[in-house]
């Protein structure tokens, strides 16, 4: 799969995520929550694919940055997918069967053990993955600053939760809107520059 197709896939996932958020706000039922969780899990997998596919400078002496980016984005994917699977196959059925599950084990409430792990994945690990991804891109690829800005936004959202839970919503600007911007920029780059 080439980087252009990966960028198109990113735009599709970004669009589906936006639709899932709108549906969740409008209807907020089990089906819209499930749809959003599935899109979130696909997003985690997609972010690993995108990070691995970014065109790197083969002459760079700093390949450790690429390795760190892949480790952090993979950690994000593993954490978020684990938490959403636990929510889908364990917590939701328990609640449906009338078992009182404490809020600190539920997605969507704060403080919550599961939300903390999700924030760790998308805030800290995704933020670090974006930052390290920017270090050894090809010089002709001008998305380095976008990657760094996305990483900073994710980290601000992650650490902002300590002050106020609403500050978390800075992070989705990085991993959500920022990823769509990266995909658009990748589609605008000439194929010769990507090889």
Model confidence over 119-157: pLDDT tens digits?
A: 999 999 999 999 999 988 876 678 999 999 999 999 999
At 182 the pLDDT is 94
Record the tokens describing residue 80, joined without a space: 């978020």
3-state secondary structure 12-60: HHHHHHHHHHHHHHHHCCHHHHHHHHHHHHHHHHHHHHHHHHCCECCCC
| Cα–Cα distance measured from residue 174 to residue 155, given in angstroms and rounded to the nearest whole number | 9
Domain map (residue ranges) of the chain: 3-194
Q: Quick check: helix, strand or coil at residue 137? A: strand
Question: What phi and psi, each to the nearest 5 degrees, are found at residue 109?
Answer: -120, 155
User: For residues 109 and 131, is the Cβ–Cβ distance under 8 A?
Assistant: no
At 139 the pLDDT is 63
Distances (CA, A) of 191 to 66, 81, 136, 145, 181: 22, 33, 19, 21, 18
**Tens-of-pLDDT digits for all 195 residues of the chain?**
688 999 999 999 999 999 998 998 898 888 998 999 999 999 999 999 999 999 887 777 778 999 999 999 999 999 999 999 999 999 999 999 999 999 888 887 888 898 999 999 999 999 999 999 998 887 667 899 999 999 999 999 999 998 998 999 999 999 999 999 999 999 998 776 666
At 195 the pLDDT is 63
* Percentage of the chain exceeding pLDDT 70: 96
């Amino acid at each position: 799969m080439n980087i252009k197709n990966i960028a198109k896939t990113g735009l599709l996932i970004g669009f589906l995520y936006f639709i899932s958020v709108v549906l969740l706000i409008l209807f907020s039922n089990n089906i819209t929550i499930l749809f959003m969780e599935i899109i979130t899990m696909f997003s985690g997998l997609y972010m690993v694919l995108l990070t691995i596919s970014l065109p790197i400078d083969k002459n760079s002496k700093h390949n450790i940055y690429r390795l760190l980016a892949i480790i952090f984005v993979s950690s994000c994917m593993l954490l978020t997918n684990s938490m959403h699977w636990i929510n889908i196959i364990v917590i939701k059925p328990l609640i449906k069967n009338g078992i009182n599950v404490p809020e600190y084990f539920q997605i969507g409430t704060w403080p919550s053990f599961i939300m903390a792990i999700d924030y760790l994945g998308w805030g800290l690990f995704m933020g670090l993955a974006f930052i390290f991804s920017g270090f050894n891109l090809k010089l002709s690829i001008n998305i380095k600053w976008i990657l760094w800005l996305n990483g900073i936004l994710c980290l601000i959202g992650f650490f902002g939760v300590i002050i106020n839970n609403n500050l978390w919503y800075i992070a989705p600007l990085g991993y959500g809107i920022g990823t769509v911007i990266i995909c658009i920029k990748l589609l605008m780059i000439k194929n010769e520059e990507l090889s």
